[in-house]
């Protein structure tokens, strides 16, 4: 018992790398045992098994070849069915379809004869007598299928008139009818004819019975109108009705032939499935025969392999259980560390920190800095419990955080109810000023929405400035990514000297935004540590063109 405890404690003291190494070596040993067992077992299979397998493979190969050729014949068949309305029936194209289709069928029959020879060479094998009748039946089905296709081609050829396809005949009759109606200036009748033509084309593209019924109804309406039309004299009426009757007769021939062809296709599909089943039966018969021979000659080898695999699996499970828990724990802790680090630092800075850079400090020639402070929050704090106060602040700042992600900005920090964000670092950003401006407007909207939903009464004061900064990390413990420079100080002054509910920007920021956003000139104000500074209040984004404010001359 003490020895077992010592072993357990010793295993726990091993590093994860050592555990992996030991597990890998153990798995290699197991793989070697299984490989040796398999090699020894395979040597026990007799040479007769190889002959049986070769016969089975040859049968399957020729079966697949026959099936592929038969699929080519089916493609020819489907091409014919799709094209038959436009084929000139006495042209060479009909014979071309017949000859190509028959050639594919003869190829299938030739391969079946070769397959008979392969089966005949396997003398003394029990499956031979079962295979021959199946192959004979297969050939009979192929011949029946070929005769059925040739019969269908004959049906189609019976509709031929003067080497013109039936669809062309249909168009000719319709053209003659429309010409007659146009000469009589019968616009109402032409509209009915066009409706009938539209339904006829829809039927030819969809082959739906409901569509052809609508076409017949349209034709009947056209016939009734022709009979009573005052724009047609008796001769014109007779000619128009004859053209319409010819058109309907050809359309009915097409519909009838479509129905017959559809029945044929369904029969072809059933025959094709029967053919595929026969090929599968032939392949399965030979496969079963080969499997039976292999089973008889390699039973001992199979047992040995199964035992070796079971032992390997059991050992692998035991090894995996020993360190799976450690791996899961390490992965969970690593994921937590990654999430915490990315919550504290921007991703590029976090990567540099993980590369153990000693000093991380970068100069950025131009960024835009935003400071925001919730006005009235101190009074609210005096009237609200600490838990509720934190919940309010968390809800508002969480909304701000989403805006930061939406505008591709970088949150720097929060101090109490103050919020600091920057655009243009750590990754350069060409439109950092515009992104910060839109962020500020969206922050105002968030506060307004929050007050409407909660009944609270406070606003937000925002200051923005654009210019160069230094950004880097301070400290080794509880480090933060922060900004330094006069640009940051002025942005803070813009917020502290601003007006509640307003966004105050410096002239540097104004110059970059004046063509896209509305501003109000606040004029010069006294800024602590900077003296007189001209400031502007951001009011919103411009919709279209620029104009001048008549009062103070500022771009609006």
Per-residue pLDDT of 309-330, as tens digits, reads 787 777 667 766 665 655 665 5
Portion of the chain with pLDDT greater than 70, in percent: 64
pLDDT at site 181: 86
Q: Rounded distance, CA 203 to CA 255, Å?
A: 9
Look at the block and give the residue holding tokens 């400290």. 475
DSSP bridge pairs for 115: none
pLDDT class of 10 with cuts at 50, 70, 90: low
Secondary structure class of 482 (helix, strand, coil):
strand
Pick the CATH number of 347-541 from 3.30.70.1230, 3.40.50.720, 3.30.43.10, 3.20.20.30: 3.30.70.1230
pLDDT at 21 > cutoff 90? no
Provide the sign of the torsion angle of the four alpha carbons 358, 364, 365, 371, taken in this order: negative
**Tens of pLDDT, residues 472-502:** 877 666 677 888 899 999 999 999 899 999 9
Tens digits of residue pLDDT in 149-166: 777 776 666 555 444 566
**367/345 Cα distance (integer angstroms):** 18
The yes-or-no verdict on residue 545 having pLDDT over 50 is no
Q: Phi and psi of 233, rounded to 5°?
A: -80, 175
Which of 7-11, 42-46, 110-114 shows the lowest per-residue confidence on average (mean pLDDT)? Answer: 7-11
Cα gap 230→189, rounded to integer Å: 11
CA gap 366, 363 in Å, rounded: 9
For 431-476, write each residue's pLDDT tens digit.
Answer: 999 999 999 999 999 999 998 888 888 889 999 999 999 988 776 6
- The DSSP result for 436-467, as a single string, is HHHHHHHHHHHHHHHHHHH----EEEEEEEEE
Do 167 and 204 meet the contact criterion of CB atoms below 8 Å apart? Answer: yes
Average pLDDT, the chain: 76
Residue 466 has a pLDDT of 94
Counting Cα atoms < 13 Å in the Cβ hemisphere of 537 gives: 13
Nearest by Cα to 461 from 423, 426, 418, 514: 418
Instruction: Please give the structure tokens belonging to residue 123.
Output: 């003398």
Q: In angstroms, how far is CA 350 from the centroid of its own chain?
A: 33
DSSP state of 85: G
Summarised one tens digit per residue, pLDDT across range 403-432 is 999 998 998 888 888 999 999 988 888 899
pTM of structure: 0.42
* Domain ranges across the chain: 16-44+298-344, 48-159+275-297, 166-268, 347-541
What distances in angstroms separate CA 495 from CA 353, 377, 389, 468, one per listed residue?
Answer: 32, 15, 22, 18
Give φ, ψ of 505 to 5 degrees.
-125, 160
Question: Does the pLDDT at position 187 exceed 90?
Answer: no
SS3 41: helix
pLDDT of 231 > 90? The answer is: no
Distance between CA 409 and CA 527 in Å, rounded?
27
Backbone phi, then psi, for 103, in 5-degree steps?
-60, -40
């Amino acid at each position: 018992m003490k020895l077992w405890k010592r072993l357990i404690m010793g295993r726990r003291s091993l590093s994860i790398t050592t555990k992996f190494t030991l597990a890998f070596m153990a798995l290699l040993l197991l793989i070697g045992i299984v490989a040796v067992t398999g090699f020894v077992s395979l040597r026990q299979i007799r040479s007769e098994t190889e002959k049986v397998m070769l016969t089975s493979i040859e049968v399957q190969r020729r079966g697949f070849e026959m099936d592929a050729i038969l699929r080519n014949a089916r493609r020819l068949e489907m091409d014919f069915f799709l094209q038959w309305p436009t084929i000139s029936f006495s042209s060479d194209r009909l014979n071309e379809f017949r000859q190509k289709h028959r050639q594919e069928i003869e190829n299938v029959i030739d391969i079946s004869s070769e397959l008979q020879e392969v089966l005949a060479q396997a003398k003394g094998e029990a499956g031979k007598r079962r295979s021959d009748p199946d192959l004979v039946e297969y050939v009979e089905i192929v011949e029946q299928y070929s005769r059925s296709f040739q019969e269908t081609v004959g049906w189609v050829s019976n509709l031929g008139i003067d080497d013109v396809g039936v669809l062309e005949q249909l168009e000719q009759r319709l053209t003659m009818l429309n010409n007659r109606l146009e000469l009589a200036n019968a616009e109402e009748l032409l509209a009915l004819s066009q409706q009938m033509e539209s339904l006829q084309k829809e039927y030819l593209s969809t082959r739906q019975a409901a569509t052809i019924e609508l076409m017949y109804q349209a034709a009947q309406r056209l016939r009734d109108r022709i009979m009573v039309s005052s724009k047609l004299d008796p001769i014109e009426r007779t000619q128009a009705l004859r053209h319409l009757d010819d058109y309907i007769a050809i359309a009915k021939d097409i519909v009838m032939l479509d129905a017959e062809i559809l029945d044929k296709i369904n029969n072809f599909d059933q025959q094709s499935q029967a053919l595929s089943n026969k090929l599968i039966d032939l392949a399965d018969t030979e496969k079963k025969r080969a499997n039976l021979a292999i089973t008889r000659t390699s039973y001992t080898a199979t047992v040995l392999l199964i035992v070796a695999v079971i032992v390997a699996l059991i050992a692998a499970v035991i090894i995996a259980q020993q360190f799976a828990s450690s791996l899961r724990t390490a992965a969970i802790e690593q994921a937590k560390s990654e999430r915490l680090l990315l919550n504290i630092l921007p991703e590029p800075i976090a990567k540099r920190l993980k590369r153990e850079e000693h000093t991380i400090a970068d100069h950025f020639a131009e960024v835009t800095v935003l400071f925001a402070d919730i006005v009235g929050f101190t009074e609210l704090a005096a009237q609200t419990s600490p838990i509720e106060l934190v919940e309010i602040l968390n809800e508002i700042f969480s909304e701000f955080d989403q805006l930061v992600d939406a505008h591709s900005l970088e949150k720097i920090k929060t101090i109490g109810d103050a919020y600091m964000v920057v655009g243009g670092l750590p990754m350069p950003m060409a439109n950092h000023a515009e992104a910060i401006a839109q962020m500020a407007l969206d922050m105002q909207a968030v506060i307004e929405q929050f007050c409407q939903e909660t009944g609270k009464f406070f606003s937000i004061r925002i200051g923005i400035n654009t210019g160069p900064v230094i950004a880097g990390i301070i400290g080794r413990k509880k480090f933060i990514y922060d900004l330094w420079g006069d640009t940051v100080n002025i942005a803070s002054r813009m917020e502290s000297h601003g007006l509640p509910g307003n966004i105050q920007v410096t002239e540097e920021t104004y110059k970059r935004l004046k063509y896209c956003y509305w501003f109000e000139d606040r004029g010069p104000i006294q800024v602590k540590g900077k003296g007189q500074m001209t400031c502007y209040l951001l009011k919103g984004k411009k919709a279209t063109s620029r104009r001048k404010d008549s009062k103070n001359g500022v771009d609006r």
